[in-house]
Amino acid sequence: MLARLRRQDVFDSIDIARSSPVGDRVGFVAMLTLPPDARSVELMIGNGREQLMLSAPLRRLGANKADIFELIEIARLTENPAVFERLGPAIDDLVKSSPLPKAAVQVSEFGLSPVSPNVSIVVPLYGRIDLMEYQLAHFANDPEFKDVELIFVLDDPRLRNELEQRVEFLHALYRVSFRLILLGENLGYAGANNVGVAHASADTLLLLNSDVFPSAPGWLSGLRQSLSDLPGAGVVSPRLLFASGALQYGGMSFDRSRHGAPYILNDHPGKGLPPDRRTEPYPVQAATGACLMMPTALYREVGGLDQGYIVGDFEDSDLCMKLRSIGRSIWCVPSSVLYHLERQSLASIGEASLRQYLTLYNAWRHQERWAPAIEALADQWEAIG
Amino acid sequence: MTKVLIIAHGHPAISPGGAEIAAYQMFEELNRREGWEAIFLARRAPDAGIPIELVAGDNEFTVAAASDQFRFHNGDHTLLHKALPEFLRWAKPDVVHFHHYVNVGIEMVRAVRNVLPEARLILTLHEYLAICNHNGQMVRNGDLALCRRSSPSACNSCFPGTSPEEFFLRERFLKQHFQLIDHFISPSQFLKQRYVQWGLEADKISVIENGQPPAEPLPPRTQAPGETTRGRFAFFGQINPYKGIEVLLDAMALLPPEMLAPNGPISLSIHGSGLHWQTAEFQASVSAKVEKLSQAVHLFGRYHTEDLPGLMAGIDWVVVPSIWWENAPLVIQEAQKFGRPLIVSGIGGMAEKVLNMQNGLHVRPRDPRGLADIMLHAATTPSLWANLQKQMIPPATILQTIDLTIPVYAI
């Protein structure tokens, strides 16, 4: 048994439950290994004096969002962050057991993309599409965008009509060429980027969140220069600031101290403080997916972003760990500066505690894959100081 | 021949605000100059008519346009991508001078730039609208305290329903469009400084006053036999909380009763409209204050420009007690034109246009006691009035404004 749950309905309707020493926590979560053809289970419940035989039908869960979220919700009800040590493998198996979601894809071109772009930028859109308008207003004033293949991926079918009504206007006004990919269903951050990258033709790739805005032109060539100059660079990422000008991101570190959380988390050192004075690129443990540049071939070589994480968390550090495993390094280029209005597009997903358990699941999954490599990396960084 | 398209946020025949009048006067005067030709395009409220329509002569048009009031966004596809380009290809201006973007929509700047990559784009800045979401006044929402600097978090504390990130986006959005403007015109040095602090380049902003039609100064008010005081005060302009009318009424109430008309020399005439647009609470408060002083305060309502000489002839002082910074208030120019010394709040555009003890007097904003003291001193010190009146500097004329603006068009 993993945990007891509150079940007021059971408590009220079954006599022996009322004499239970656990009060109204008469519900429970248990893990059982069943034969593949099992149809139902029989449970014997007792309180020491009396016993009750219950027959429970079984429902087969699918690798769909509703069923996966149901498991996360059950995890949340246990009020035990460490629950994923036991429940995590089942969720992971469930996700793996069926093919990755294949969304219907519709591609439209707005303007002529450059024949030989020097960078493909993939921007997933989710939650709100006016951010695309703000980005275009910035890109239109940046001469470097004439050599950019810009790819927007709408990962939010609810917004399709709204976007289709606006997109012609925006293209006519800002005169930035782009490709628009409409997904028939929500694939999440990793899935949307993977579809976008499949349509990218430049040798260099930039993953960009829709809530990231350049401070001034020059950031893109700065990143490209660093990617080609830095030996063994797998990923380069810019400095990201909050709207206030405080640091949002200057490289991610793995946090082994865990601060009460049972799993390794991604930490943004210096977040919220004034940015430091560094101007030259420096190595980092991992880069944020909010804005990262890498060779397109390398992205494909490591299989892109892992779609096994739910909603959008840890895919970026997972990608960085995959690149580290083939000998590539990760960098922050502080002379390229953008603003990141963190989580402006995610505010609409679920309530806080459910999100917290989603993050815990993703953290568990990330740790399962990378704990030894991360421990080694962290030891090495501590040794260097 | 240099062709200038002047785009204004309203036609002065329909909306006779200071900025609309200034834009229209520029249009008329430019057409009188050899080597220059001007076209006027004024915004009108969206209606069933065609988007851009000739309304007078062969060079006066209106454009049906609307923007939101937060980021001045206009998403009208037909207007910006069809009617406006067609109009611009017909008009072929060398210079496009925007007198505003409110209601017109900030995207119009980019739509013009798309069609006319070589044209020179000029924007006259009026209030602090791009900087401040509180009607561009840079006063805090709620208590109306003066604000000195905007920031995403400061603006969010003024408008808690709008996140700092939304304010950040608003600023970035407006700035991206401002980048397409070749040169800005600011009617005051103070307003220019606020925009420079906000992020515009100082050498891209020229300070040029909105010129006024010239007029002869009026002789001093004829005093009654034996009268030595200069106690006739007047207020001109919109009656709203920002113009400080309540401060002025409170100051009147603090004066010694024996100094107030009809027994004493001090009276106040209020010439202005707009009270009925204000909140019921504000209307009731103003009415009650006027009522209490009914012997000394008279509320006259709306006036027209041609009434001004007559109204100014009968008074001694013009009071501008605004509680926001102002920019280059028309009423100050009019008082200076007709030779009436001013008592103004000593902040922002008012302090810049009226110099303390030279051609007027400064008072702390929102200080009825201070204003009462200064009014009493002003009324009872006839030499003060005479000295200030002698030093009145007439405002720039429209011709002077054009002389200064033409080099900006030609840079």
Q: What is the pLDDT along chain B (411 residues), one digit of tens a residue?
A: 999 999 999 998 888 777 888 899 999 999 999 999 999 999 999 998 899 999 999 999 999 999 999 999 999 999 999 999 999 999 999 999 999 899 999 999 999 999 999 999 999 998 999 999 999 999 999 999 999 999 999 999 999 999 999 999 999 999 999 999 999 999 999 999 999 999 999 999 999 999 988 899 999 999 999 999 999 999 999 899 999 999 999 999 999 999 999 999 999 999 998 888 999 999 999 999 999 999 999 999 889 888 999 999 999 999 999 999 999 999 999 999 999 999 999 999 999 999 999 989 999 999 999 999 999 999 999 999 999 999 999 999 999 999 999 999 986
| A117-145 tens-digit pLDDT | 999 999 999 999 999 999 999 999 999 99
Per-window interface: A 216-245 vs B, CB < 8 A? 243-244
Between chain A and chain B, the number of residue pairs with CB atoms below 8 A apart is 51
Token duo for residue B285? 């408060």
pLDDT of residue B187: 96
pLDDT of residue A258: 58
Question: What DSSP line would sit under B10-42, residue for residue?
Answer: S-TTT---HHHHHHHHHHHHHHHSTTEEEEEEE
The residue type found at A87 is L
Token duo for residue A111? 């303007």
In B169-255, where do the E strands start and end?
A: 183-186, 205-207, 232-236
The residue type found at A142 is D
Q: Which of B107, B165, B177, B179 to mutate to test the interface with A (most CBs of A within 10 A)?
A: B165
Q: Which of B299, B232, B244, B305 is nearest to B272 (CA)?
A: B299
Cα–Cα dist A319/A309, whole Å: 12
Cα–Cα dist B211/B205, whole Å: 17
| Omega prior to A262 cis, within 30 of 0 | no
Chain B residue at shortest CA distance from A139: B176
Query: How close, in Å, is residue A237 to chain B by CA atoms?
Result: 22
Asked if pLDDT for residue A98 goes beyond 80, the answer is: no
pLDDT of residue A347: 47
Query: How close, in Å, is residue A244 to chain B by CA atoms?
Result: 7
Asked if pLDDT for residue A168 goes beyond 50, the answer is: yes
Cα–Cα dist A91/A72, whole Å: 9
Check if A340 contacts B (Cβ < 8 Å): no
pLDDT of residue A59: 82
Nearest CB to A243: which of B114, B164, B177? B164
Residues A153, A121 contacting (CB under 8 angstroms): no
Query: What is the average pLDDT across A172-184?
Result: 96
Q: What is the ipTM metric for this complex?
A: 0.90
Q: Which of B150, B107, B100, B95 is nearest to B125 (CA)?
A: B100
For residue A295, which phi and psi values (nearest 5 degrees)?
-65, 135
Backbone torsion region of residue A247, taken as left when φ is above 0, otherwise alpha when ψ lies between -120 and 50, otherwise beta: beta
Query: What is the average pLDDT across A39-59?
Result: 81
Q: Which of B63, B184, B86 is nearest to B129 (CA)?
A: B184
Query: How close, in Å, is residue A134 to chain B by CA atoms?
Result: 6
Ranking A37-46, A265-274, A363-372, B326-335 by mean pLDDT, the lowest is A37-46
For residue B229, which phi and psi values (nearest 5 degrees)?
-85, 165
pLDDT of residue B384: 97
User: What does the buried/exposed string (b/e) look like for B72-105 if buried means 16 or more CB atoms within 10 Å of the residue's CB?
Assistant: bbbbbeebbbebbbebbeebebbbbbbbbbbbbb
Cα–Cα dist B351/B111, whole Å: 38
Query: How close, in Å, is residue A233 to chain B by CA atoms?
Result: 32
Q: Which of A215, A223, A191, A225 is nearest to A95 (CA)?
A: A191
Ranking A50-64, A296-310, A357-371, B206-220 by mean pLDDT, the lowest is A50-64
Q: A41 pLDDT band (50/70/90 cuts)?
A: confident
The residue type found at A322 is K
Average pLDDT across chain A, whole number: 89
Q: Which of A270, A196, A206, A200 is nearest to A236 (CA)?
A: A206
Is residue A384 classed as helix, strand or coil in its secondary structure?
Answer: helix
Residues A174, A111 contacting (CB under 8 angstroms): no
Chain A residue at shortest CA distance from B74: A169
Is residue B269 classed as helix, strand or coil in its secondary structure?
Answer: strand
pLDDT of residue A70: 86
Contact B165 A175 (CB under 8 A): no
Check if A246 contacts B (Cβ < 8 Å): no
pLDDT of residue A100: 62
Residues B107, B79 contacting (CB under 8 angstroms): no
Q: A348 pLDDT band (50/70/90 cuts)?
A: very low
Cα–Cα dist A14/B90, whole Å: 85
Other beta carbons within 10 Å of B150: 22
Residues B142, B133 contacting (CB under 8 angstroms): no
Asked if pLDDT for residue A385 goes beyond 70, the answer is: no
Residues A291, A212 contacting (CB under 8 angstroms): yes
Question: What DSSP line would sit under B65-127, residue for residue?
Answer: ----SSS-----HHIIIIIHHHHHHHH--SEEEES--TTT-THHHHHHHHH-TTSEEEEE--S
Alpha helix positions (H), chain A: 8-13, 15-18, 65-77, 84-97, 130-139, 160-174, 188-198, 219-229, 296-301, 315-325, 352-384
Chain B residue at shortest CA distance from A170: B75
Residues B269, B226 contacting (CB under 8 angstroms): no
Number of H helices, E strands in chain B: 15, 14
Contact A172 B167 (CB under 8 A): no
Contact B77 A134 (CB under 8 A): no
Cα–Cα dist B338/B214, whole Å: 10
pLDDT of residue A305: 96
Q: A311 pLDDT band (50/70/90 cuts)?
A: confident
Contact A341 B168 (CB under 8 A): yes
Other beta carbons within 10 Å of A283: 14
pLDDT of residue A115: 92
| A66-96 tens-digit pLDDT | 888 888 888 888 888 888 988 898 888 888 7
Is residue B274 classed as helix, strand or coil in its secondary structure?
Answer: coil
